[in-house]
Each structure stands twice: as C-alpha cells, then as structure tokens.
Amino acid sequence: MIDVRYTKGKHMTGENYGVGELIHNGDLYDYMNNFNFNFDFYKKWALQAGGSVLELCSGTGRLTIPLKQTGIDIIGLDISDSMRDKAQEKSCKLNLKIDFIKGDIRDFNLGRKFSLIFVPFNSLQNIYSIQDVEKVFTQVKKHLQKDGLFIFDIFNPNFHYMLNKEQSFMEQCRFTRDDGVEVIISEKCKYDAAGQVNRVQWLHKIGGEEFLEKLDMRCFYPLEMDALLKYNNFEVVGKFGDFEEKSFESESAKQIYVCKITNRKT
C-alpha cells in the first residue's frame, strides 16, 4: 500500500508545485548523495573570490563542511530543519564551528555581505515563478560585496530524459541504512509545459513501507536564464557545461553560471 504524502514545498508559489518531506530528510539525503564531484569547482571559486562565503540551500553541509575544513570562511542557509540538524551534527563531530541558518532564499537578511554566494546542486530549480526567482536575485544582490561572485548550477533541460521516464518508475538508487533497513528509490517524470516544470515522483520503498513524494523541478532554458540574469543586473562572466569548466553546449548536462552584479557603485 502506498502512503501518498505529497506535502507543500519549502520553496514555492501557490499550491501546485513543491517538494515532499522525505526529499528534505537529512539522513536519506546523505545516503543518496555521498559524491564530491563538484567540490573542487566550488573550492576554486571560493578561494578566488577571497573573503567570506554564503551557501544558499546548504542542505546537510555536503559542500559547506569540507569547504570549511580547507580554511574557507563559510556559512550555510537552508529552510529544512532536518537538513540543518544533520549538518550541525556532522560539523560538531568534526569540531567545526559553522553557522547553519534557517531561512528562505527568497527572503532573508543576514546583515552582512559576502565575496561569494552560491546555490549548488540544482536547488534554484525548486523556485517556480519568475517573481520568486527575482526575489532570490534581489537577496543575492543585497548580500553580495562589490565585485563579489554569484554562482549557481542547474540542469540543461533534456526532453529525451524526461520523456523516457514518463512510462514507468525507474530505479534510481538503493542502499542499506545503518539500522539494516533497505531503501529503494525509483523515479517517474511528467513534463508540465505550461509551468516549464518537470513533475518528478519519487517512490520510496523503506523496509515494508512505500511512500510517494513529489520533487517538482522548474526547467530554465539557456536563453531564458541568460535574459533573467541580464534584466536583473547580473553579468555572466563564465558559463560552463560541467564542473571541469568545459564550454556550455547544446549537449551539456548542466548550466553552471558565474556572475557579477553590473553597474554597482558600492
């Protein structure tokens, strides 16, 4: 029996789009996401920017913690209590003092500015309306130092991928928790053209129970994002197709933006 637990998302406008509670579960997240392929990229740009760093949607500290270990002055902001609790637990075990702040990336005020602000791992795709994207950009500009950098990565929309996953649930990962319980997560997609949203369903099989969760992902097309940045006073100083900084092309899986604020006096 499937327990359908679609819940209102943490970053959303209206009732139609969002992210389910299990997606923001810190323990499950760490079992699924134990990679570090984007770490060197963010480390390089943090060191190049110099000064303090703010990670938006910092989650369980997957990037925040190792960046801190290299000596970078960094704090994280995330709206999920479960994610932040896990991040604090891990940083305490390593005797690292890191502020993981509760906040909505559309509306926060930290009272300070940063040399680098970044939003990793497609998190901006959980912002669904243009108005809310512009609210995020406004907060970034308010917290960014003069000549500071704003970096984020998002998917390059792939219709073949989404259409292939419309047919049936396809297994994405499986793992065994420390308590011996096996977890299997499968995915099914349906593209919502009106909202430019890939409506993803994740079926969690946890021991003898099944839970169906939503993970709606806003699709930002390359020229659309270029225009959004331009008309919100950001200059794109670098756009890459992967974390090795290869040039962005039609076949690139990612869109990785490195930006600065244009026409800034202070």
Domains held by the chain: number: 2
Please report the pLDDT score of residue 6 as a whole number. 39
**Distance, CA of 184 to CA of 172 (rounded, Å):** 8
Predicted confidence at residue 250, as pLDDT, reads 97
Q: Are residues 76 and 146 in the same domain?
A: yes
H-helix or E-strand spanning residue 130: helix 130-143
Domain-located, residue 27: no
Reported as half-sphere exposure (CB side, CA atoms, 13 A), residue 67 has a value of 29
Question: Reduced to 3 states, what is the DSSP secondary structure of residue 181?
Answer: coil
What pLDDT was estimated at residue 245? Answer: 98
Clarify whether residues 8 and 120 are in a common domain. Answer: no
Mean pLDDT, each 10-residue run in order, the chain (266 residues): 38 67 95 93 98 98 98 98 98 98 97 98 97 98 97 96 91 95 97 95 95 96 98 98 98 98 72
Q: Is 180 exposed, middle or buried (0-12, 13-18, 19+ CB in 10 A)?
A: exposed
Residue whose C-alpha is closest to residue 232's, from 137, 143, 149: 137
In DSSP notation, 21-89 reads GGGG-HHHHHHH----TTHHHHHHHHHHH-S-EEEES-TTSTTHHHHHHTT--EEEEES-HHHHHHHHH
Helix (H, G, I), strand (E, B) or coil at 9: coil
CB 90 within 8 A of CB 61: yes
Does 83 share its domain with 140? yes
Residue 204 pLDDT: 97
> 42 to each of 95, 107, 168, 199, how far by Cα in Å?
22, 24, 35, 29
* Separation of alpha carbons 227 and 145, rounded Å: 23
Percent of the chain with pLDDT over 70: 93
Domain holding 253, by residue range, is 35-156+220-261
Q: Do 44 and 151 belong to one domain?
A: yes
pLDDT at 115: 98
Model pLDDT for residues 217-239, shown as the tens digit of each residue:
999 999 999 999 999 999 999 99
93 and 199 share one domain? no
- Asked if residue 43 is part of any domain, the answer here is yes
Of 200, 218, 236, the residue that ends a domain is 218
Question: Which pLDDT value is given to residue 44?
Answer: 98
- For 218, counting Cβ atoms within 10 Å of its Cβ (0-12 exposed, 13-18 middle, 19+ buried), the class is buried
Give a yes or no: residue 256 inside a domain: yes
Report the alpha-carbon distance of residue 5 to residue 171 in Å, rounded.
19
Taking each helix axis from N to C terminus, what angle separates 222-230 and 130-143, rounded to the nearest 10 degrees? Answer: 50
The CATH code of the domain that includes 135 is: 3.40.50.150
- pLDDT at residue 265, rounded to an integer: 56
How far apart CA 12 and CA 216 sit, in angstroms, is 10
pLDDT of residue 257: 99
| pTM, 2 dp | 0.93
The pLDDT assigned to 264 comes to 60
Rg (CA), the chain: 18
**Is there a domain that residue 83 lies in?**
yes
Same domain, 147 and 67: yes
Query: For residue 35, what pLDDT is reported?
Result: 87
One domain for residues 149 and 204: no
Continuous segment of H or E residues that includes residue 224: helix 222-230
